Amino acid sequence: MASTKNTKRDAEYTEFVSAQLTSLRRTAYLLCGDAHRADDLVQQAITKLYVRWHRTRDVVHLDRYVRTMLVREFLDERRLSWAKVRLFGRTPDESRQPEPNTELRLVLRDALERVPRRQRAVLVLRFLCDLPVDEVAHLLGCSPGTVKSQTSHGLAALRRHLGDAADIPLIAAARRV
Partner 1 sequence: MNDEEYGPRILRPLDEEPDAPSRVDVAAAVVAGSRSRRRRRVAATAAAAAAGLAIASVPVVISQAGQTTPDAAGRPSASAKPSPSPKQQYDRTMDVAFPTSCTGEALPVPGGGQSHASALDPTGRYATYRTYVDGRQPIIWHDGTITKVGTPGDDDGLYSINSNGVAVGIVWKGTGPVAIAAEGAKSAQLPGGKGREARAINDHGVIVGGSFDEDAPLRWASRTSQPEKLPLPKGATRAMAYDIDTDGTIVGYVETGAAGAPSGADPAKPSPSAGGTPGAEGTKVRADGARGGRIAYVWPAKGPGRVLERPTAPGVTIDYYDARGISNGWVVGFAAAVGDDRATYGVRWDLNTGKAELLPGLEWSNGINQYGWIAGMTEDNHAALTDGKRVLRLPDVFAFDKQYGMNWAEAVSDDGRTLIGNVDDADRDGLQQAVVWRCS
Residues 116-175 that bind partner 1 (CB under 8 A): 116-117, 123-124, 126-128, 141, 148, 151-152, 155, 157-162, 166, 169-170, 172-173
Taking the complex as a whole, the smallest distance from the CB of residue 60 to partner 1 amounts, in Å, to 15
Cα dihedral 7→10→11→16 (10° resolution): 160
Nearest to 40 by CA among 95, 87, 92: 87
* Nearer to partner 1 among residue 63 and residue 166 (C-beta): 166
CA distance 95 to 100: 13
> Is 90 among the residues that bind partner 1 (CB under 8 A)?
yes
* Residues between 27 and 46 that touch partner 1 (CB under 8 A): 28-30, 35-36, 38-39, 42-43, 46
> Is 64 among the residues that bind partner 1 (CB under 8 A)?
no
* Nearer to partner 1 among residue 57 and residue 109 (C-beta): 109
> Is 7 among the residues that bind partner 1 (CB under 8 A)?
no
Q: Binding partner 1 by CB under 8 A: which of 3, 92, 164, 175?
A: 92
- Count CB atoms within 10 A of the CB of residue 110: 13
How far, rounded to the nearest angstrom, does the alpha carbon of residue 43 sit from its chain's CA centroid?
Answer: 12
Instruction: State the Cα angle at 164 between 166 and 33, rounded to 5°.
Output: 50
